[in-house]
Structure 1
């Protein structure tokens, strides 16, 4: 019933079929039921979407801050009215458990409300330079058209995290959602914004195969910035296209992670165990900020491993529709195969599998490895599955060294009862975000979000989003005639 309109593209405020002859089957990862079939976009459809955005954006940018903010407030109201529908589609399309779907709904709504406030927060500058009788003004204006490529793990939120601020700041948008989640990653949002009164052409959604429109999405001359959330491998490729293509453009890249969760010897033990379990297994570990390595000081290590395993055994696995299910399905069979291979490789490498969970179709139960070498493939690979490597650190200094031994630098956490100790430790972690006595998956629309090293470029949320999605324009006024050299 929810899926009748989601059969093609959303361009120029119209629901239309894609021009490609083949169709994409969207299936429920748990039941494998086909939810809808979507006719896919071609490069011509992509060009139409970008042209529509470019034509509609100038008028949208002239709207008052209050007018743009009101649309976003309307979006939150539409979301509230359609809450049950949105949560249900998240469960059925992305394999979200009900508790995760509710979390994603709340995050998306909060992000939209926060973005509405951005409309009134754009400021410029008046600068006193060295030229006599000259006033230099720096105006901050919308970039123009933003291209957004979003992932499948938190599709509604991670698409809207760029859509809402971009629109609030006067930009138009073209979105390419992941092929696994074209509805929650794009088409559902288009329906919500349409109902909220967004003018036609400001938000466009193209659903297509990456092999068909992927490179063209970045190389197209119209977008001024490409906002991408996904793997480091694909992010590197997008960055290269943006820099070497015929039209230079900005990029915002939120990429992979290998988040360490460090448990120091004075941590609140029960709290640290529970937080590590939640940080590792929330949404089956399919989160870029997910706790990928759990590093414990040796004085706590044996007891921690035992408690962590016992807690992991209690997690309910299975039907994501049931309110108390913690572990639902992985998004697709490819991810299951990859997780299975990593488990087999870890066993072959000599790592001790202390908790061997079951694998039933696309549902993978928790697997826990202990005494893991931090330099091993198991520890250095982003899992995106309910697989937990537990690593022993000799002391605090060793724990810090282990935490930083990764090519990634997105999220991290440290647990200690001594705030000063935790702060000293956190400042030395090579990451964009470190949380003291909290889980690694953290996002707040009023606080900056982003990573270091191979975890990306740029920052999301609040004032940082204004910097990303607007551009500076120097306009000077010569108040009195100047004397020129000739």
Structure 2
């Protein structure tokens, strides 16, 4: 068993401290339900102490760009040196395939490397023109202070790091809460890397706790200046409501109902290849996963036939096997949800093109065909290897169907006409659209975020700089002013 599963304590103010509630969480391997770690849940008082430590440490941290650079460079080196061990943790704790785990570590390193470019963006001024004689106007970009980071179970390492790395690079301190189901890979691994890199006490804190214990403290603590959250739209709305009442900033990356649009002139074979990847990576448990496949009626039958045949061949089973693509769903609740979506679709008379099966905690692909976009199935974020195929009578209708959802995170368009594809991409109401590629894309130097019910704010450099800093205008009157009274 990897060393990281002994890191069952919270990391607060530079020390590893045992949870004080007396409650123990059994951290399970989602494939076989074996216990990989026993985590003692931290208390609300311990969380509040983490915020106190972060607030105390932040100002000195923000004044030292050389130290920030040194720490982040050492964290990058740590992740590269320990990549295989971290991959093993992700496989065992989150049910990720070996492929997905390696991608996740690579994404995390990329965000750390990109964050190095942000270090010099704070505590410095730019001069702007003035119409007032003798006045010099300067705009300073300053750290916010302490940032609350809340990450989910599906990409626990990366979806934590994409907040933590830029927040720290920009001179903020961080109090981080990973989903307890992936508390080691989403919290303790990161804390260990920063500890080894010499981060000052209090600058980064990782707490292993759960919502029944802490309630809204991650949002309401007075030291928290911004709440960065990745997760469901329902929880995001709650966070936004509470934070709004306190006039606090939020960065919310929420759910998706991501369309994969196949236009009339698309290359069907390549579209199928792409859709298989975008649907079944990590069992469909990604906010960007393809949820609806919308195909022009002229290509629908061919696409459906080939997609079903490919889906039958996707390897499934124990994610420790490097050949496996589809591993377990994260827990039994998620499995029950997926099975309920399937049963309801069957009861509603939805055409079943491929009937999968439950094998232990693994669910194999289910494909429903000729789905109506206003059906419960098509309007639900399935977060599983279940997908809807929808027939469109025209390219224009395909775009209309793609937009007919409360969500707007990621999307894709397939076509042989790249100019037409780009035009369609702009028309789709989503924060991200990929022409001739699948929906699961992420780059550290592009704006990542959604429209509509899929969230507020943008990750990625330089957009995240605006999110995690505040602008301050300083004017210097170099010549005496003459006032009218």
TM bucket by the smaller chain?
over 0.9
Superposition deviation, residue 186 in structure 1: 0.9
Given the alignment of the two structures, is residue 47 of structure 1 paired with residue 48 of structure 2, yes or no? yes
| CA–CA distance in structure 2, aligned partners of residues 45 and 188 of structure 1 | 20
**SS in structure 2 opposite 1:462?**
coil
| CA–CA distance in structure 1, aligned partners of residues 130 and 453 of structure 2 | 38
Structure 1 stretch 118-127 or stretch 70-79: which is displaced more?
Answer: 118-127
**SS in structure 2 opposite 1:379?**
coil
8 A Cα contact 1:263 1:414, kept in partner: yes
Structure 2 equivalent of residue 90 of structure 1 = 90
Correspondence 1:212-291 to 2 at 5 A:
212-245=213-246, 248-291=247-290
8 A Cα contact 1:260 1:293, kept in partner: yes
| CA–CA distance in structure 2, aligned partners of residues 79 and 400 of structure 1 | 41
**SS in structure 2 opposite 1:376?**
coil
| CA–CA distance in structure 1, aligned partners of residues 89 and 5 of structure 2 | 13
**SS in structure 1 opposite 2:322?**
coil
Structure 2 equivalent of residue 152 of structure 1 = 153
Correspondence 1:30-179 to 2 at 5 A:
30-64=31-65, 66-122=66-122, 124-179=125-180
| CA–CA distance in structure 1, aligned partners of residues 164 and 186 of structure 2 | 11
Structure 2 equivalent of residue 390 of structure 1 = 389
Superposition deviation, residue 4 in structure 1: 5.1
Number of equivalent positions: 483
Structure 2 equivalent of residue 324 of structure 1 = 323
Superposition deviation, residue 392 in structure 1: 0.4
Structure 2 equivalent of residue 468 of structure 1 = 467
8 A Cα contact 1:3 1:35, kept in partner: no
Structure 1 equivalent of residue 308 of structure 2 = 309
Alpha-carbon RMSD: 1.1
**SS in structure 2 opposite 1:305?**
helix
**SS in structure 2 opposite 1:353?**
strand
Structure 1 equivalent of residue 417 of structure 2 = 418
Structure 1 stretch 197-206 or stretch 112-121: which is displaced more?
Answer: 112-121
| CA–CA distance in structure 1, aligned partners of residues 45 and 213 of structure 2 | 11
| CA–CA distance in structure 2, aligned partners of residues 168 and 3 of structure 1 | 25
8 A Cα contact 2:408 2:451, kept in partner: yes
Q: 1:128 to 1:34 in 2, by over 3 A?
A: same
Superposition deviation, residue 55 in structure 1: 0.6
Structure 1 equivalent of residue 427 of structure 2 = 428
| CA–CA distance in structure 1, aligned partners of residues 258 and 4 of structure 2 | 36
| CA–CA distance in structure 2, aligned partners of residues 22 and 41 of structure 1 | 8
Structure 1 stretch 162-171 or stretch 120-129: which is displaced more?
Answer: 120-129
Structure 1 equivalent of residue 209 of structure 2 = 208
| CA–CA distance in structure 2, aligned partners of residues 458 and 53 of structure 1 | 24
Cα deviation, 1:395-416, whole Å, max 9, x if unaligned, reads 1011010000000011000000
Superposition deviation, residue 423 in structure 1: 1.0
Correspondence 1:286-365 to 2 at 5 A:
286-365=285-364
Cα deviation, 1:114-149, whole Å, max 9, x if unaligned, reads 111211345643122333211111100111100001
| CA–CA distance in structure 1, aligned partners of residues 244 and 419 of structure 2 | 43
8 A Cα contact 1:9 1:41, kept in partner: yes
| CA–CA distance in structure 1, aligned partners of residues 231 and 136 of structure 2 | 44
| CA–CA distance in structure 2, aligned partners of residues 36 and 6 of structure 1 | 9
Superposition deviation, residue 80 in structure 1: 1.3
| CA–CA distance in structure 2, aligned partners of residues 163 and 303 of structure 1 | 45
Superposition deviation, residue 361 in structure 1: 2.5
**SS in structure 2 opposite 1:140?**
strand
Cα deviation, 1:250-270, whole Å, max 9, x if unaligned, reads 000000001100011211221
Question: TM-score, normalising length from structure 2?
Answer: 0.98
**SS in structure 1 opposite 2:378?**
helix
Cα deviation, 1:264-314, whole Å, max 9, x if unaligned, reads 121122110010111111100000000110000000001110000000000
8 A Cα contact 1:69 1:117, kept in partner: no
**SS in structure 2 opposite 1:312?**
helix
| CA–CA distance in structure 1, aligned partners of residues 6 and 166 of structure 2 | 26
8 A Cα contact 1:26 1:93, kept in partner: yes
| CA–CA distance in structure 1, aligned partners of residues 4 and 450 of structure 2 | 36
Segments of 5+ residues of structure 1 without an aligned counterpart are none
Cα deviation, 1:54-99, whole Å, max 9, x if unaligned, reads 01111000102x4312221211110111111100000000000111
